[in-house]
Structure 1
Amino acid sequence: MRVIRAYVRIIDAVNLRLGRVVMYGIFVMVAVLLWSSVSKTFFLPSLWTLETAQFAMVAYYMLGGPYSLQLGSNVRMDLFYHNWSDRRKAWFDAVTVLFLLFYLGVLLYGGLGSTAYSLGYWGDQPLAFFAGLATGAEEIGRVERSPTAWRPVMWPIKVVMCTGVLLMLLQALSEFFKDIARLRGVEL
């Protein structure tokens, strides 16, 4: 129980701090879009603004998701849920979070494959590719670029996306542990 309590405390602290920092990322996106409007009106249009705003929104959304899950501010169909007892809510959440964990695991595996592809790996074993990168047995190939006129490399935003999915997976596991503890009458 001590290990689970430490896990919940660490994951919640990481996602709380990261979420509070990332929530200011909306201002980055607004600044980029404001510059886009100004440059299109008074100067030559900038090629980089739209994709930079999209990348900022992806980072905002993916890295802020675990914080949202932790606060319970995620969207849910609340037809019956609000009338249930805390114990029944914990039971229902503990069961449904298992589906979320499965979905996030599949999403993370696909994201790792896409990230490996963006680093020039053409095979079908992305985990082996990343292990090979860490040991020096693999090397980065031809990097994927966006097909737009600006042509930024894609791997940094894919790494951010994988990081966000991993943090969401860890936070969902933390929520699962909290629900099980509530069912047992223990607070974490």
Structure 2
Amino acid sequence: MLKLADVLERVNSLIGNTLCWAALAMMLLQFVIVLLRYVFGYSYIFLDEGVLYFHAALFMLGAGYTFLVNAHVRVDIFYAKCTERTQAWIDLFGHLFLLTPALIVLIWFSWPYVRGSWAILEGPISVGGIPASYLLKSLIPAYCVLLLIQGVAAFIRDIAKLRGARA
């Protein structure tokens, strides 16, 4: 089972490492926008939307990687003081009864919205923007799937901890 967790975690690891380059690209694009606007007096809406697309992709696709490296927000008033076994039980509860249902509900309610956007190949958010709003909206189910993948991997590792295996 731990091999399955390794395979699942590789998905988010690969995406997270790729997103590091996307962050650099977003920063460079923002630099170009500022340079064009304030030095040359030009402004392009599609470039501004490009930063928006990069930003959305970084947060939505990077959530699984953030979960993988345990860098997500955690309110650990008591959690940090618990034993590793108790932490595993708390995490199992969170994965089963909080994370998974929330992501399933989000997929359920966002899917018609995303499907409709793809059906008409929805155009830009603003006039002159990137004519691919459907790609931006597709980040919602992608976010859910990547977090679910990481949730399953974390669930497997927590079960292994409870069984005494080295996770």
TM-score (norm 1): 0.80
Do the aligned residues in 1 keep the contact of 2:92 with 2:155 (CA within 8 Å)? yes
Q: Does 1:150 align with 2:103?
A: no
1:24 and 1:90 map into 2 onto residues whose CA distance is: 33
- More off after superposition, 169-178 vs 156-165: 156-165
1:130-149 to 2 correspondences below 5 Å: 142-149=120-127
Do the aligned residues in 1 keep the contact of 2:60 with 2:143 (CA within 8 Å)? yes
Equivalent residue number for residue 132 of structure 1: none
Q: Does 1:9 align with 2:6?
A: yes
- Tell me by how many angstroms 1:7 deviates: 2.1
| Structure 2 stretches lacking a partner, 5+ long | none
What code does the residue aligned with 2:149 have?
A: L
Match of 2:151 among 166, 172, 179: 172
| Structure 1 stretches lacking a partner, 5+ long | 121-141
What code does the residue aligned with 2:128 have?
A: W
CA RMSD of aligned residues (A): 1.6
Give the count of matched residue pairs: 164
Which structure has more relative contact order (CA 8 Å, sep 6+)? It is 2
- Tell me by how many angstroms 1:92 deviates: 0.5
2:7 and 2:69 map into 1 onto residues whose CA distance is: 15
1:16 and 1:156 map into 2 onto residues whose CA distance is: 22
Counterpart secondary structure, 2:44: coil
Percent identity (aligned): 24
Equivalent residue number for residue 103 of structure 2: 104
- Tell me by how many angstroms 1:27 deviates: 1.1
What code does the residue aligned with 2:112 have?
A: G
Equivalent residue number for residue 46 of structure 1: 44
Equivalent residue number for residue 130 of structure 1: none
Do the aligned residues in 1 keep the contact of 2:37 with 2:43 (CA within 8 Å)? yes
2:5 and 2:100 map into 1 onto residues whose CA distance is: 16
2:166 and 2:109 map into 1 onto residues whose CA distance is: 35
1:119 and 1:184 map into 2 onto residues whose CA distance is: 45
Counterpart secondary structure, 2:76: coil
Equivalent residue number for residue 30 of structure 2: 33
- Tell me by how many angstroms 1:117 deviates: 1.1
1:36 and 1:47 map into 2 onto residues whose CA distance is: 10
1:93 and 1:40 map into 2 onto residues whose CA distance is: 48
Equivalent residue number for residue 134 of structure 1: none
What code does the residue aligned with 1:16 have?
A: S
What code does the residue aligned with 1:59 have?
A: A
1:176 and 1:27 map into 2 onto residues whose CA distance is: 32
Do the aligned residues in 1 keep the contact of 2:125 with 2:133 (CA within 8 Å)? no
